Amino acid sequence: MARVFTDGAEFGDNVFFSNPVLLTAATDQVRSGAYSYKFAATSTPSSSGIPGSPLAELYYRQGVRVAGFHDSQRIIRWFKGTTELGNLRLNTITGLVQAYTSTGTLVATGTHPISANNWYLIEVHVKIGDSPDGIIQVKIDGVLDIDFSGDTKPGTDADVNGFGWVPGPSHIMWIDDLALNDVAGGVDDSWCGDGRIIRLSANGNGDASDFDGSDGNQVDNYLLVDEIISDGDTTYVQSATLDERDLYNLSASGLVATQDEILRVYGEVRARDTGSAGNLIAMVVKTGGTEYASADVALPSSYGRVVGAAWKLNPDTAAAWTPTELDALQSGPKVRS
């Protein structure tokens, strides 16, 4: 089933990444929303860990745009620890996608050329295994371009725990609309398909205002958490009291029921522990007059990405979300310890 490995770029920062080398959230080129991730021209890789346990098989999606091609460029690479298990490159002459294993072996070349300065939706299905069980499949804009079966496990590593990117020393690269499916759960266990992430920002008071604001009161707390990019400790809300929570009304989604499908809803904040790291919060959504809390999430010691449960169905109706329900939603943090 899908893991929360999605487009934190919409918060205007790069805290999604464990190793963001010359990587920023940018507005100059976006596939959807207000931001994409922009890699400055460098041969040093950026990376992000996969949430949860390592995966022996996965489906990953990203929008990608390159300003040009270079031999060291990697539009996506997958690894275990410090060992790269495979990557996708672009042929510097033809622009064709090429799949490599960690031995540096070219195992497949696609037929759909990529051109500079255009967005493409790249999906990759990876299964780590010895021949003939290993798999690298690639779709470009929904069309299968590479279908390789063979050895994708040149060493002893049998699963993947991170992704990386290398734009190359000569050209900028952008990625957007990231998503990840594993193969468990009987749902969201195959190709991610096209999609986008919509940020609904706090734009009004909700039905709870327990937190203390940096302005010294509990009035209009949403004004202290509505900035994109986060201003850290310039404006904030805080509480150390168990089960106190803030709820905020949110900006309209702009979705249309006859055109758009809502696959999941989750709360996300930038937060930190003002004491020793490890205290807990939950992310709450209020829908249909009832509050639903995520599992408890440990706070980092410095401002970081805190993500609540991904509600695939509206917990109030046990049915798919509708734009009307989404536009009436309230969300916010709740102290858990």
- Lookup: tokens for 326: 């989404």
- Lookup: tokens for 299: 């706070």
The Cα-based distances of 335 to 257, 273, 332 in angstroms read 34, 11, 10
Task: Identify the helix (H) or strand (E) that includes residue 335.
Answer: strand 330-335
Q: Which of 203, 199, 179 is nearest to 191 (CA)?
A: 179
pLDDT in the model for residue 34 = 92
- 3-state class (DSSP) for residue 327: helix
* Residue found under tokens 């209009």: 220
pLDDT in the model for residue 3 = 54
pLDDT in the model for residue 8 = 63
Beta strand pairing status for 237-238 and 280-287?
unpaired
pLDDT in the model for residue 246 = 98
pTM score, two decimals? Answer: 0.91
pLDDT in the model for residue 9 = 82
C-alpha to C-alpha distance for 2 and 188, rounded to whole angstroms? 5
Would you say 306 and 292 are in contact if contact means Cβ atoms under 8 Å apart? no
Q: Each residue's pLDDT tens digit in the chain (337 positions)?
A: 555 455 668 899 988 888 888 899 999 999 999 999 999 998 888 888 887 789 999 999 999 999 999 999 999 999 999 899 999 999 999 999 999 998 789 999 999 999 999 999 999 999 999 999 999 999 999 999 999 999 999 889 999 999 999 999 989 999 999 999 999 877 789 999 999 888 999 999 999 999 999 999 999 999 999 999 999 999 999 999 999 999 999 999 999 999 999 999 999 999 999 987 789 999 999 999 999 999 999 999 999 989 999 899 999 999 999 999 999 999 999 999 8
- Lookup: tokens for 156: 């002893």
Residues with Cβ within 8 Å of 250's Cβ and at least 6 positions away in sequence, in order, are 200, 201, 202, 203, 327, 329, 330, 331
User: What are the φ and ψ backbone dihedral angles of 284, each rounded to 5 degrees?
Assistant: -110, 140
Looking at this protein, which amino acid is placed at residue 188?
Answer: D
User: What are the φ and ψ backbone dihedral angles of 10, each rounded to 5 degrees?
Assistant: -65, -10
- Lookup: tokens for 267: 């709360």
pLDDT in the model for residue 197 = 87
The DSSP code sequence of 214-283 is TTSSSSSGGGGS--SS--TTSS-EE--STT-BEEEEE------TTT-----B--EEEE--SSSTT-EEEE
Would you say 237 and 249 are in contact if contact means Cβ atoms under 8 Å apart? no
List the beta strands (DSSP E) in 67-172: 74-80, 83-90, 97-101, 106-109, 120-127, 134-140, 143-150, 162-166
pLDDT in the model for residue 5 = 56
Beta partners for 203?
none
Computed on alpha carbons and rounded to an integer, the radius of gyration of the chain in Å comes to 21
